[in-house]
Amino acid sequence: MIVNKKIEQASTIDSKFYTSDSIFSKSKKIFENTWQFITHESNLDAKNAFPFNYLDNFIDEPLLVVRNKDNIINCFSNVCTHRGNVLVEDHSTVKNNFFCRYHGRRFDSEGKCIFMPKFENVIGYPSATDNLTKISISKWRQFIFCSLSGDLKIDNFFSDMEKRIGWLPIEDFIFEPKLSKDYEVKANWALYCDNYLEGFHIPFVHHDLAKQFEYDEYSVELFPYSNLQLGIGKDGEDCFDLPTTSVDYGKNIIAYYFWVFPNMMFNFYPWGLSLNIVKPISKDLTKIEFRSFVWDKTKLQIGAGSNLDKVEQEDEEIVESVQRGVNSRFYNKGRFSPSMETGVHHFHTLLSDFIK
């Protein structure tokens, strides 16, 4: 699965990455060692305990986010340390502590075991093993993320995006459930990312969208664990009102397409943000979660971010076609366009590094 770091000499990752059950299972370590989106901070305002699985149907690790009385957000294993019962089943309010409904063990908001009935004669109780395991958690603006390993600092993934669009009041964007939607794609999760990471296909697949872009000005900027595709619009298209301090000041930018390894897409439009999370289910089935956060409602129906469902349907159709194709005995690898597919090449080099 080694991918040459020099794009002019490189071939794409082996097609088995998209078709092999064993490689799909092995790819779990990619997600275990990076950061995953949990929720947005306002989701903890009314109810401060948020249970979730790290990645549903792929890495089904029960976890729990809790905001305590001091407004500190922590993430713990959501499994009782006595007999393994799942502690919190629903998004709920926890005041001072929470307990296991199986045998009554109690934990405080710091995950410490503080009570267990009928344990008076247990030698060595309580000990550190009776406390809930704390999971690495971090926040960027209003968005909360966790990592099962925490070995890589979250700044490695988000600092370049912050530098570029930090002038946006992202913490004030409002989640809009009516504009949020889930999709299922009959394709490998990495194929979906491949498609996102290049604008090469836009004039061939997205005919209406292509009319808004200056295709010849397409560019990709690479960072250690993320990259940026700049959407430069034609004259007359709705674009960002950039501050003079922005490095992009003077450009007609209609979209910032940020990808964060391995499976997060932050699409900034003049109306706000479409956050897309790519969640593997099987080697050839993927769930895509679209979550919309609105900044300016008056711009929702104009510009590059105005008809996302149509663009998504077009992407799904072509990606599912590619999934059928990579199963062919006559296909193994392809070559990269050095001018148009640097984002895909960047992704493939990261995949090969993480899956060794």
> pLDDT digits over 117-148, tens only?
999 999 999 999 999 999 999 999 999 999 99
Residues 295 and 164 in one domain: yes
Query: If we measure between CA atoms, which residue out of 304, 311, 300 comes closest to residue 231?
Result: 304
Percentage of the chain beyond pLDDT 90 is 85
4 pLDDT above the threshold of 70: yes
Q: What is the pTM of this model?
A: 0.94
The bridge status of strand 272-282 relative to strand 113-115 is: unpaired
Enter the DSSP assignment of 354: H
95 pLDDT above the threshold of 80: yes
Residue 302's pLDDT is 81
Domain residues for the domain of 73 are: 35-147
**186-209: per-residue pLDDT in tens?**
999 999 999 999 989 988 998 888
Tell me how far apart the alpha carbons of residues 9 and 17 are, in angstroms, rounded to a whole number: 20
What CATH code is carried by the domain that includes residue 300? 3.90.380.10
Count of domains in the chain? Answer: 2
Residues 203 and 344 in one domain: yes
Tell me how far apart the alpha carbons of residues 197 and 121 are, in angstroms, rounded to a whole number: 60
Tell me how far apart the alpha carbons of residues 283 and 185 are, in angstroms, rounded to a whole number: 11
- Looking at the domain assignment, is residue 1 inside a domain? no
87 pLDDT above the threshold of 80: yes
237 pLDDT above the threshold of 80: no
Residues 65 and 169 in one domain: no
The bridge status of strand 174-175 relative to strand 181-185 is: unpaired
What CATH code is carried by the domain that includes residue 66? 2.102.10.10
Segment among 76-90, 154-168, 201-215, 321-335 with least mean pLDDT: 201-215
| Helical (H) or strand (E) element with 277 | strand 272-282
| Helical (H) or strand (E) element with 54 | strand 49-55
Q: Do the Cβ atoms of 255 and 239 come closer than 8 Å?
A: no
Q: Domain boundary at 126, 147, 168, which? A: 147
305 pLDDT above the threshold of 80: no
Tell me how far apart the alpha carbons of residues 3 and 23 are, in angstroms, rounded to a whole number: 16
Question: What value does the mean pLDDT of the chain take?
Answer: 94
Helices (H), the chain: 16-19, 21-26, 28-32, 155-165, 189-196, 202-205, 207-210, 308-326, 342-354
Residue 308's pLDDT is 87
Residues 342 and 193 in one domain: yes
Residues 27 and 39 in one domain: no
Q: Domain boundary at 147, 175, 190, which? A: 147
CA geometry: angle 181, 159, 169, nearest 5 deg: 60
Could you tell me the pLDDT band of residue 246, with boundaries at 50, 70 and 90?
very high
Q: Classify the C-alpha dihedral 54-227-305-269 as positive or negative.
A: positive
304 pLDDT above the threshold of 80: no
236 pLDDT above the threshold of 70: no
Residue 235's pLDDT is 78
- Listing DSSP states for 283-340 in one string gives TTEEEEEEEEEES-GGGTTSSTTS-HHHHHHHHHHHHHHHHHHHTSTT----B--TTT
Could you tell me the pLDDT band of residue 113, with boundaries at 50, 70 and 90?
very high
Residues 54 and 80 in one domain: yes
The arithmetic mean of pLDDT across residues 295-311, rounded, is 86
Q: Do the Cβ atoms of 228 and 268 come closer than 8 Å?
A: no
3-class DSSP string for 96-118: CEEECCCCCCEEECCCCEEECCC
Helices (H), 169-328: 189-196, 202-205, 207-210, 308-326
152 pLDDT above the threshold of 70: yes
Q: Do the Cβ atoms of 137 and 145 come closer than 8 Å?
A: yes
